Structure formats: C-alpha cells, structure tokens
Structure 1
Amino acid sequence: MYYISKRIEISYAHQLVLDYESKCTHLHGHNGIVTVFCCAETLDHNGMVTDFTHVKERVQKKLDHRNVNDILNFNTTAENMARWICEQVPNAYKVMFQESEGNIAVYVKPGFENAAL
C-alpha cells in the first residue's frame, strides 16, 4: 500500500446553524489547516497515489477566501467539512481539519480506521 498526505492552509468565512446560543452562529472567519491523507494499492501511470497539486486544487480552489456557506449545502462544522473534503479528493481516506489552534476534527472513511499514516 502507498500513502501520501498533503497539508493545505485555507482562509474561509462561515456561520453555523446551532440549536443553542453561540457566537459561531454569526459570520466569522478562520485560518484553517487541512491535511488530506490518500492511499492506493498501486500507483497510477505517473507513478503517484494522487498528485499533490491536484489535492491542493480540489481544496483551495473551492474553499480558500470564500464564505463556505455560499458553496456547501450543509452545516459547515469542522466535522462536516472534513468529510466533504475527503469525498472530493481521489484516493482520500482521511482528512484532519484544524479550524483554529487546538480545534481539530478528523474524518476517516469506513473501512480505513486502522490505515497507516
């Protein structure tokens, strides 16, 4: 099995929909760090699991310097955004989404709970 990871920084704005009072229900911004983990049993015709540039493009082009509530049709929690990013990147099996220092959400695709990296 081959593994790669790509760390990407994004700046984004959002607001959450919550059933309790929170400052996060107001529009606010984050400088987030996204780490995407990919794996493959065999390499593609270029000798790669997934091109690092393609991983970065899938995340930054869609989310960086944007109000993500205008793009995504779900409550934009770190947990939901981690899952969504994982679904966008070929061969991705895990995403760590750090919305701010000390606040990290991780999504792992079912069946990959014990994967390396």
Structure 2
Amino acid sequence: MMQQFYPQVQHSYRYELNKDMHLAAAHFIPSEDAGQCQHMHGHTYFINITIGGDTLDGLGFLVDFKKIKDIVHKRYDHSVLNDHPEYKAVFPTTERVAEQIWSAIQKELNTQANKPKCLQVVVRETPTSYVVYRPKPEELK
C-alpha cells in the first residue's frame, strides 16, 4: 500500500482520526463545457477523511473506522455517481463528491454522544488531481 500524505487541517482537538479508503465509481458531467468529462468514465477514487474530537466513546474510540468506511464505501463503490439522489440537482464533480461525503459523515457523527467533527475530506480522482473539502467553522457547531 502506498502511503499518501494530505494537507493538514489546523484544529485544537485532542484526538485526530484519519481514514483512507478507495472506491471505484463512474460519472459524467453533462455539459459540453466539461470536455471529455461529459462522457461516462470511471475513476478509482482515493479518499481521506479527517475527524477530530476531545472525547472518546465508551469503547475508547473517537469513531469506529468501520462506521466511516461503511458510510462512504457502501454508498458509492461500483456505482454511477449521477444515479445518486444527491447529484440530481448538481453535477458529481470531485468537489461535490467531497462535499457530499462530508455531509453524510457529519450527519452520522452528530448522532454520537461524544460529538466528533469531520474536519476535512480529500478526494483524489487521479494520481495528479485531488480536492480538499473543509467545512466552515459554523458548519461544525
């Protein structure tokens, strides 16, 4: 496995959890302005999720790694992103994918008693291109 390093997000939490995963998915951007991307094509996306918090749960986890993987991998792996309801009003660009991953993870984290926060989502579309999504501070409250 290749080690990947991502931009660090500044925070003051005691704990920082990072989860790497990859998934295969197809998409297209239905606009002539998208050039070749207007045609259906696929990627092996590499994703890094950063979660912070000050309090651990009863098991001693900030959040279970498996829970994070399940939220993302079960939803998007081997799918056509355009078919997902969250991309009906917007195109599934890498930026939007990162934003939607953050939204799904934070929604789950909000249900946990220890209230961890998803601080950053990195979505690598190709070996040379990736997007970093960081929520605004008010979105973490």
TM-score clears 0.5: yes
Between Structure 1 and Structure 2, the one with more strand by share is 1
What SS does structure 1 have at the residue aligned with 2:33? coil
Bigger-Rg structure (1/2): 2
TM-score normalised by L of structure 1:
0.89
- 5 Å-filtered alignment, 1:60-75, equals 60-71=73-84, 72-73=86-87, 74-75=90-91
Between Structure 1 and Structure 2, the one with more helix by share is 2
TM-score normalised by L of structure 2:
0.75
The size of the alignment, in residue pairs, is 112
Instruction: Write the distance in 2 (CA, Å) between the matches of 1:21 and 1:92.
Output: 30
Unaligned runs of 5+ in 1: 113-117
Q: 2:67 aligns with which of 40, 43, 54?
A: 54
Code of the aligned partner of 2:43: H
1:7 aligns with 2:20: yes
Which residue matches 1:87? Answer: 103
Instruction: Note the aligned Cα RMSD (angstroms).
Output: 1.5
Code of the aligned partner of 2:35: S
What SS does structure 1 have at the residue aligned with 2:57? coil
**Aligned CA distance change for structure 1 residues 83 and 46 (closer, same or farther; 3 Å):** same
Q: 1:96 aligns with which of 119, 122, 140?
A: 122
Runs of 4+ in structure 1 deviating by more than 3 angstroms, as ranges, are: none
Instruction: Write the distance in 1 (CA, Å) between the matches of 2:50 and 2:23.
Output: 17
What SS does structure 2 have at the residue aligned with 1:45? coil
Deviation at 1:17, TM superposition (A): 3.2
**Aligned CA distance change for structure 1 residues 28 and 54 (closer, same or farther; 3 Å):** same
Deviation at 1:111, TM superposition (A): 2.1
Deviation at 1:18, TM superposition (A): 3.6
Percent identity of the aligned residues? Answer: 27
**Aligned CA distance change for structure 1 residues 93 and 18 (closer, same or farther; 3 Å):** farther
Which residue matches 1:110? Answer: 136
Code of the aligned partner of 2:81: V
